[in-house]
Amino acid sequence: MSTHVLVLDDDDGIRTSLALALEDEGYLVTACGAAEDALAAVVQGPQPDVLVVDLMLGGIDGFTFIRRVRPVCESPVIVLSARHDKSDIVAALEAGADDYVTKPFDLGELFARLRALRRRAEGAAAAEEALVLDSVDGPLVLDAAAGTVRRGGEQVHLTVTEFRLLRELAEAPGRVLSRRTLLERVWDRGFFGDERIVDVHVRRLRTKIEPDPSAPRLVTTVRGLGYRLDRR
């Protein structure tokens, strides 16, 4: 079955050429020029497997679109933008993006990142036994076979990247994993050589699994070394 990619870019030339290039590679493409149209396409379905989103849009910008689409879609989001500033990259990741590609971009690099994201999504559902990570505030259960995390029977909605990050930490309980190690295992490669992407995703993950994200007790920081999952 073809991978479904939603492309959101208000530049007609870029949107059309990118859609044609993706279709030539065998992808099923939904191309939108406005965030409102893209939101409607996601809600009405079928949901895309990956979203490619520009930040500088007329009307609703890319940052706002990502924040609005996240509650209804957990598929990976790749930002495709001419904005190169590190603060923009971090802001996009904080909004819910999984990856960031700067314009002008190489199609080969974009295709490689799309393939990596799909491998992550497929690998997240590898058959493994469920793990109880925390039982203090009701059982927090990571079920790798189902690709889900539940707290007290209620599903905790994680993105593919957040799920992979939690899974990597859960598979090494009590051990410190460096940011570089997490980059290599979760993202399959470095990300601009900038390890802050790990910090951003850990903060997002904590808001979903920690009773008090400001005082985390499950995913803890080991200053100067990395992160550790303390099962309770």
pLDDT digits (tens, 9 = 90+) for 52-65: 999 988 889 999 99
**1: pLDDT confidence band, cut at 50, 70 and 90?**
low
Q: In this structure, are residues 58 and 10 in contact, taking their beta carbons and an 8 Å threshold? A: yes
Domain segments of the chain: what residues? 4-122, 131-229
Q: Is 93 helix (H, G, I), strand (E, B) or coil?
A: helix
The pLDDT value recorded for residue 64 is: 94
**133: pLDDT confidence band, cut at 50, 70 and 90?**
confident
Per residue in 63-117, pLDDT tens? 999 999 998 998 889 998 888 787 888 888 888 888 888 888 888 888 888 887 7
Per residue in 5-37, pLDDT tens? 999 999 999 999 999 999 999 999 999 999 999
**222: pLDDT confidence band, cut at 50, 70 and 90?**
very high
Instruction: Name the pTM for this structure.
Output: 0.69
Sign of CA dihedral 109, 113, 119, 122: negative
**123: pLDDT confidence band, cut at 50, 70 and 90?**
low
Rounded Cα distance between 90 and 72, Å, is 22
Query: Domain 4-122 carries which CATH code?
Result: 3.40.50.2300
Q: Residue 182 to residues 30, 209, 227: CA-CA distances in angstroms?
A: 32, 18, 9
Strand order in the sheet with 131-134: 131-134, 140-143, 148-151, 154-156
Q: Which one-letter amino acid corresponds to residue 143? A: D
pLDDT above 70 covers a percentage of the chain that reads 92
Topology of domain 131-229 in CATH is: Arc Repressor Mutant, subunit A (1.10.10)
Q: In this structure, are residues 60 and 8 in contact, taking their beta carbons and an 8 Å threshold? A: no
**44: pLDDT confidence band, cut at 50, 70 and 90?**
very high
Nearest CA-CA partner of 178 in 224, 120, 124, 231: 224
- Strand residue runs (E) in the chain: 4-8, 28-32, 50-53, 77-81, 99-102, 131-134, 140-143, 148-151, 154-156, 176-177, 219-222, 226-229
Task: Assess whether the region 4-122 and the region 131-229 belong to the same CATH fold.
Answer: no
